[in-house]
Structure formats: structure tokens, C-alpha cells
Structure 1
Amino acid sequence: MAAQRAGQRKTSRYVVPVAVAGIAAATIGLVPALAASGDPDLPEITAQQLIEKIAASDTQTLSGTFKVSTDLGLPALDGLLGGLAGGADSGSGEGSADPSAQLSKLVSGTHTLKIAVDGPERQKLTLLDGAEQYSLVHDGDEVWAYDSASNQVFHEKGAGAEKGVPAPDEELPASPKALADEVLKAAGDTTSITVDGTANVAGRDAYRLVVAPKQQGSTVESVTIAVDAATGTPLKFTLASTSGGKPVVDAGFTKVDFGRPAASEFAFTVPEGAKVTEGDEAGKDAPEDLEKEFGKSPEELEKAFGDFGLGGGDANGPEIIGEGWTTIAAFDSGAPAPKTEDVPKEARGFMDALGDRVSGKFGSGTVFKTKIVNALMTDDGKVYVGAVTPQALVDAANSAK
């Protein structure tokens, strides 16, 4: 069991949409708007019954097409994230098949994926971007990944591969069930959960479960989950922000089949002429790639950023302020905020686009903003993070003084 939990932690590098909002994972769910017309006529069901139906769902096999669209209110991230991951956009021009680099693309824009699942031993995910494809295959004790753009293969076998795949109850990276489970953990006195009609999703009759905060100060307006009426499997989600506009993240099936995929779906043959990188070799050139991208060594970058205030903190972990949807994590980075002249030019522009200077009883600092997760870093190195408004962060910093 401990080994399985360790595997889940390593898998987090593959689950990009979840990782981006990971600081507020217990309060966030993801997916697309549901059709308002042609809704199916289904038996009435209470929110509690629908939650129990989701919990009892035991879907082991499925295949289909999954669409994810992300709008975090961030500037373009592809170049920065690719450089930090040492991936396809790292400046080397060689590309990469490492999942940690390739799946970072899901952080922004709209993407289509093909998914196949045959229990805990076999899963396949294919990211379709125009004429290019990226495939990630888990078959038994092996993981294979292939990037058609660079004709490169990533391979991991044995214990390393087992750690690199989701546990059975997590299904696939960014799977609807895994996301729904995270949302439902937020249920409690601070949360309103209701059933709001029905919908037809990917050709399936579904109920609409709406999860929303009762508290003021959260950046989350609501989460809508479409739950398959027959199986209890979550099919689609919509995360709406209080800032309005497009949903923060839309993710869900446009086609789905609960039959067992053919065994050939999980077979992998190394394409002719492809370069194969073993898992224990992946990332060994990352320090050189970082230096090429930013003109500074990893040590210089670490000093300049102070780990963005996220690498330090107390030995006992962050202090938790508040509860439910307005929970804030507070900790001391152990170093003052980086001076502007010490920050690499590329990262400086990124930080300036995200940050607003603020002041209060705590002194002064910068609030880094997205449509959901916001973070206040004070000039003396204190950090406050949560799915809350900037004012809530300032209030928390003031109260700590």
C-alpha cells in the first residue's frame, strides 16, 4: 500500500491540470458547459444519492475521446513551462517524449485526447495536436511514450514504471472520476451540493451535480459534474470562477464506450529510427537546458527566485488559516522576495504579468493571480496561498502581524 501511495505521488508529474490547481485541490473540480436543450427525462435523485452513486462506481474498462480546455487567466505558458521542464520547448530544438514535459501543454488552450482503459494494468492516452500525436501507454510493468513531432520514445520498466502510473481508483491522468473525487472531498458545512436537472453527454444520459461554496471570499463560483445515470461514472465537469468569463477548465468526454478495448490498443512498437530514452536517463540534461533558456545556472535561478517562496517553509509544513473554500496556506519561505535585477528577464516578464503590488499592516508584497489560485508573497518572504481573492490574502497577512 505504501508503494502504491508513492506511485501516486510520482504520477502527479503527469497530471498537469490537477497539478496547476493542486494548492487548492480539495476545492476544485474541472470540465465543460453542458447542453441546456434536449435534456433526458430521468428519475428524480437527491444530491446524497448521486454522490453515493459516484462513490459506488466501479468502471474498469472504457475508451473514448476527451476534450480539455483551460483558461487560468495566465499569459502564454508553453515556452516558460517547456523550459522549466527541459521539454520540447526547452531551447534544445530536439523535443522530448518525457510525459512531464509533454503533458504540460494541457495547462493552457484546448486539447483533444483519446483514452483507453482496461483495468489497473493497461491504460493509454493519446494527445492530438493537429497532425502531431503524443501517446502514453502503460501495459503491465512497462510505460512507453512516443512524440511523433520529434520521433522520440520514452521508456520505463519495472518498479519505476509501476510508480509512474495511476492507482486503479485514479484511472487516468485528469480522469473524470479522479477529479470528481477531489471535488466531493470539499463537501461539508461550507459547501452547497445540489442536483440541477439532467443532460446528454457523449451520447449518455446524465445528472447534473452542482457544487458551490457558501462562503464569501472564494474565487470558485461553482463546479458542475455530469454523472452517467447508468454507471455513476463522472463524464464532464465545469469549473466557473467568480471573475466570470469562460470556465476556468472544461474537461470531459465527447465520446465514450464502456466496453473492453482490444488488447492491441495497448501494444507498442518503437517506430523506425526513433530515439529511445530510458526513464532513469530522462531529465539528466535539464540543468544545461535551464542555463540555455535563462542564461543562469540552476543554482543562480534557485537563489534568484527563492523557490518562488514555495521551496522553504517550516519543517512542520504550512500554517492553515480558515476552512473550506476559503482555506489559506501560510508559510515562511526563509528568504526575502527576489530583487527585480536578480530575476531572469524571461521570468521577470511572466511575474510582472501575474503580479500586483499590495501593502498593509504586514508591510508590502506582490499578489500573483490566476482566475482560481492566488498567492501573496511579502517582501520579507512570507507566502499566503489559496483559492481566495487577493483581499482575503491581504487580510490574512494583516491578521498574522
Structure 2
Amino acid sequence: MAANVKTSRKASRYAVPVVVVGVAVATVGLIPAFANASGPDLPKVTAQQLIEKIAASDTQQLSGTAKISTDLGLPKLATGLLGGGGVAGGSANPEDKLTQLATGTHTFKVAADGPDRQRITFLDGKDEYSLIHNGDEVWGYDSKSNEVFHDKEAGAKAGQKGKEHKTADRLGTSPAQLAEEALKAAGPTTDVSVGDTAQVAGRDAYQLVLKPKASGSTIGSVQIAVDAKNGVPLRVQVLSSQGGKPILDAGFSKVDFAKPAADTFTFTPPKGAKVQEGSDASHGDKAQRRMDSLPIPGLNGLTGGGAKGETTVLGEGWGAVARIDSGTGKGLKDFEGKANEKGAPKEAKQLLDSLGDKVNGKFGSGRIFSTRVVNALITDDGKVYVGALTKDALVQAANAAK
């Protein structure tokens, strides 16, 4: 693979998973691939026509129930660091909830009334977490901890941004927002076609299918089910090139495009709730703080722990690889020694045990940390190569970049 160096940034700017939809996608082919008769009998459309239908949709009001399931194949240690389990519990700050969506299945109710009013409520048994955007205010409420997050300034910014996201929720988990992120990443590395028609939430839908042109990606395809009448994305699925259940499956089970009741977007903090204003709330990521406490060359840079860490993006589209230099001058061998020292954090030894077998190449030697989506090659000299590529493809990318 020819190394196309696009940009260099601080390693702390790099984050991995649910955003894989946006990283994975690319160009709009004009090949007239048509929906077949396995689902509802709908008029034939080309991929270009279906994309234009999505872009032309002006639906700004809806309510419904949706589900997001994520199976990244993370080890138990990583799941714990991400705060596995339900979304409810802990801080009410929206930023602290994002990483918890990287694993498991979550059901939520969503409502939208134009760019200035959205609400999303995650249901976790008897507990729930709600995020409400109403005009210039944003409220977050965690029923388990009885904590409230409030940010007026963020609400004003959300209102401005909302004009570009007609039915988006503030956590970026709605099928419409995931589809938008996928299409925004358009480039020359993807084949786009129309797949089978389908029914989603009782509505007829076309399916837009995006696949990598080249081999080596861990992503087999991204499939976007689009409402045949109004062009609103109803479901997004990210499928693995290795088969099995979807990596990401986010879609409506019920949806109504009528105007939601006005009181849907009103919120008053419950009696006795602890209220944190946006300027006072902690914006730190618990998983990152815990990972940064481990003496892990390379991985500290990956999660933002290395102050000198630099990230260079190699390649593009589905084949993009982030090369991270920890800047520590220390490598995996140093970490292996420290992890086995008496008194070392148990998480360090657990993480070392979770790393894959040794690999060798022109880049040198190292180990590959694997998930269903993202693989990371951690070298003995302190570099990390990360991408949504298979192990073999990642080693080839590291060799080409040497």
C-alpha cells in the first residue's frame, strides 16, 4: 500500500469506535443497481436517486422507539473501562455517556421538532437517562444517580448546529444522524448500490449499500434503510467482512412523523436532584482517565495519555491507518517488563494478556490487539498502527509506511 500522509495531529485527537461508520464510507457510484423483489414491491431507483432522496428530505418532526446494538468484539477489560452495562448511572454529563454506547444493546425513545427541540431517553430497566435540547438549553438527567446536567451556552450552539441536522439527537445515535455521517465521508474507495427492499418499523424502505472496493477491510458493508416516502433513514447496519451479527445495528422499531407534543421538550429538575452547570461539570472521560493511569507505552498515546504523541493518517477511506508515535522513546518490551514487576497494576497484566501473538515485518516486531472492527499493531519501539483493517492488511500498511 502506498502511504498517503494526509495530516498529523496530537494523539489525543484520535478516538476509536462507534464513529467507524463515518470513517468507513465513500463514493457514490452511478451504476444502476436496482432493488429486487425480496421485500416490498417499490419503484426501481438508482443509488444516485436514492442519495438525492435522502438529501432532499425535509422531515423535521418525528417520535418513536429505536434500538442500537454494538458488537465491537472488545475484551472484557476494555468493556469495563468503557463503563459497560446500561447508560443510566454515574454522571448526567452527556459526554460521559458516549463511550457506554460502544458496547451492548440500548433501547431509547426519540422525539424531534425542528432544529431547536430534540429529546432522547435511554431505557435501562427501571433506570433511564434523558437528554433534552429545547431552544438555548440542554438538560441531561440520570434517574439512577438523580443527577442533572444543565448547559445554556451549549444549548445555543446546539440550536445553531441543529439547523444542519433536521432530526438529529444530541448523542449522535439516531439512524438519520449515523447515515448522514456515513454519506459525508464519501470518497473514491467505495462501491454504492441499491440492495433489497425492506420493511422497518412497519414502513416500506429502500436499502442503500456501501462496500469497500479494496480487500482488507474489517467492514463488509454499511446498509442504510431509507423510508420510501419521505427519505428519512430508518436503520443503519454495519456488517463485518467476517460475517456474524452486525457490528452496529441502529434502527427504529416504531416511528411516527407527526408533530410531538410541546411538553415533550420541557424539563424541570426533580426535587432533591443534584444539578451541575455545564461550566462546572467534569468533561473528562472516565475510561480514558483509567487507561492513562496505566504505564503502557503507545497505548497511552492512543488514548491521549502521551503529551508528545503524534498521529499521522496514512491512506484514505476504508484503508485509512493512524500511525501513532508515543513520543516516550519506550516500547512494548519496556511495558512487558513493567507489567510483570511485583506491585504492577493488575489492569496492566490483564491488558498484556489480552494482546495477540507477536508479529514481525519490515516495521520491526510487535503485537496486534484485535477487535471485530479496529485492529491495533503495537510495536516494540513504541509506535501504534490503528485501522479498520484485518491483521494481515494492517501489517502490510505498517511495512509500507516504514
Q: Equivalent residue of 1:117, what SS? A: strand
| 1:273 Cα deviation from its structure 2 partner | 1.4
Give ranges in structure 2 of 5+ residues lacking alignment.
Answer: 1-12, 27-35
Matched, 1:162 2:156: yes
CA drift of 1:96 comes to 1.7
Name the SS for the 1:177 alignment partner.
helix
Higher relative CO (Cα under 8 Å, sequence separation at least 6) belongs to: 2
Aligned: 1:251 with 2:250: yes
Structure 1 residue identity aligned to 2:232? T
Q: Name the structure 1 match of 2:379.
A: 378
In structure 2, distance between residues paired with 1:382 and 1:290 = 19
2:310–2:324 contact (8 Å) kept in structure 1: no
Structure 1: which 5+ residue stretches go unaligned? 1-12, 30-35, 90-94
Map of 2:133 onto structure 1 = 138
Shift of 1:116: 0.5
CA distance in 1, matches of 2:134, 2:74: 36
Contact kept in structure 2, 1:332 and 1:383, CA below 8 Å: yes
Q: 1:345 to 1:316 in 2, by over 3 A?
A: closer
In structure 2, give the amino acid aligned to 1:369. S
What's the offset of the Cα at 1:355?
A: 3.8
SS at match of 2:397: helix
**Alpha carbons of structure 1 residues 227 and 286: separation in structure 2 relative to 1, 3 Å:** closer
Q: 1:110 to 1:204 in 2, by over 3 A?
A: same
Is 1:61 the counterpart of 2:54? The answer is: no
Q: Which moved more, 1:357-366 or 1:59-68?
A: 357-366
1:129 alignment partner, one of 104, 117, 124 = 124
More displaced stretch, 117-126 vs 364-373: 364-373
Output the TM-score relative to the length of structure 2. 0.80
Shift of 1:42: 1.1
Give distance in 1, aligned partners of 2:388 and 2:127: 35
Equivalent residues of 2:63, 2:258 under 8 A apart: yes
Q: Deviations over 1:313-345 (max 9, x none)?
A: 999851423x33222232422123351325732
Shift of 1:24: 6.8
1:309-328 mapped onto 2 (5 Å cutoff):
309=302, 311=304, 318-321=312-315, 323-328=316-321
Q: 1:330·1:382 contact (CA, 8 Å) conserved in 2? A: yes
- C-alpha distance 313-190 of structure 1, shift in aligned 2 (>3 A): farther
TM-score relative to the length of structure 1: 0.80
Correspondence for 2:327: 334
Amino acid at match of 2:17: V
Any conservation in 2 of the 1:194–1:210 contact (CA below 8 Å)? Answer: yes
Equivalent residues of 2:209, 2:223 under 8 A apart: yes
Matched, 1:200 2:199: yes
Aligned residues: 363
Corresponding letter in the other structure for 1:161: G
Indicate conservation of the 8 Å contact 1:180/1:225, yes or no: yes
- Does structure 1 conserve the Cα–Cα contact (< 8 Å) formed by 2:67 and 2:107? yes
Tell me, in whole angstroms, the C-alpha distance in 2 between the residues paired with 1:169 and 1:260: 19
Indicate how the Cα distance of structure 1 residues 351 and 22 shifts in structure 2: closer, same or farther if over 3 A, else same: farther
For 2:326, the aligned partner's letter is S
Query: Does the aligned pair in 1 maintain the 2:175–2:235 contact within 8 Å?
Result: yes
Aligned identity (percent) is 53
In 2, the alpha carbon distance for the partners of 1:206 and 1:186 equals 23
The alignment's C-alpha RMSD in Å is 3.2
